Amino acid sequence: MEKLDPGEQEAILLAEQIEAELIILDDKAARQIASERGLRIIGLLGMIKDAAQFGLLDLRVTFERLQEAGFWAAPSLLERLLRQQ
């Protein structure tokens, strides 16, 4: 846990403290630690995918805007999520 930045450490500890049903994490190391501690995890792309399934946003447009803002994700992952839509 010491290898994580303070924000991720606090998020994991808070999720445990309040017995959260879900924690939002994208960092690989943070996700691994949270999983080992029994927390259920979702990342930003998972949240976006869920929102698109409810018709709350356009998945392709949202991915494009994220990339314009500097968010990086493997192109193969983005394409797979778009195909699943």
Which among 35, 37, 59, 29 is positioned nearest to 46, based on CA atoms? Answer: 59
Query: How far is C-alpha 70 from the geometric centre of its chain's CA atoms?
Result: 16
Say if strands 41-42 and 23-24 run parallel, antiparallel, or are unpaired.
parallel
pLDDT exceeds cutoff 90 at 1: no
Q: What is the pLDDT of residue 78?
A: 92
Q: Residue 82 in contact with residue 59, Cβ under 8 Å? A: yes
pTM here? 0.79
**What is the mean predicted confidence (pLDDT) over 46-73?**
95
pLDDT averaged over every residue in the chain: 95
